[in-house]
Amino acid sequence: MVKLMIILGSVREGRVGLPIAEWVRDRAEADGRFEVDFVDLKELALPLMAEPNHPRLRQYTMPHTFAWSERVDAADAFIMAFPEYNHSYSPAIKNAIDYLNAEWDLKPVGFVNWGGASSGTRSQAALRPVVTSLGMVLTHRMVEISGPQSQVDDDGRFIADEKQNGVLTRELDELFALDRALRPLREAR
């Protein structure tokens, strides 16, 4: 099984991101090819990155950094679910990424984004160079959700439409295939 970490990069109260990320988690678990580690950055509560050494050295000094490093290192693939803030990604997702370096290398990543009229496409475009600079390999297909509040039901569940479900299925397929291609490279290190 592929160890898939789903990272929810929204920490605001009343966030629509939680039901979206739970939808992604439920779909990945039902798929059968993934062992899912669900990370809610609000619950993880990483402080602003303040390690004294550059992350590429892996000379961590803080217990929360050691724990985060171990958790990310154990993952084979990622889905980062995050909103668009001011034409960019959320500070919470950037902070979580910046804590580490080698732990992300040669691992596939897909995005699930949401926002207003742009559906989060600008946040996606802004984060692409960040993850690729760390050696991550992006999926081609990514879920984009415009005005997601209208898709949350009275029970707080995100109700995806046919297109969103289809794109997520293809994104999971790509993550699985990319992991199979990248795994030998990771193991050869």
Could you give the 3-state DSSP secondary structure of residue 79?
strand
Q: Is it the case that residue 120 has pLDDT exceeding 90?
A: no
Q: Residue 116 above 90 pLDDT?
A: no
Give residue 25's pLDDT: 99
pLDDT, residue 23, reads 99
Name the 3-class secondary structure at 137.
strand
d(CA 96, CA 92): 6
pLDDT at 127 over 90: yes
pLDDT of residue 71: 99
Tens-place pLDDT, residues 17-71: 999 999 999 999 999 999 999 999 999 999 999 999 999 999 999 999 999 999 9
Confidence of residue 102 (pLDDT cuts 50, 70, 90): very high
Q: Under the phi-then-psi rule, with left for phi > 0, alpha for psi from -120 to 50, and beta for the rest, what region is 36?
A: beta
pLDDT recorded at residue 168: 99
Residue 117 pLDDT exceeds 90: no
Task: Give me the CATH number covering residue 105.
Answer: 3.40.50.360
Range of the domain at 93: 2-187
152 by Cβ neighbours in 10 Å (0-12 / 13-18 / 19+) ranks as: middle
Give φ, ψ of 91 to 5 degrees: -65, -30
How many domains does the chain fold into? Answer: 1
pTM, two decimals, is 0.96
Check residue 176 and give its pLDDT.
Answer: 99
Q: What does pLDDT average to over the chain?
A: 96
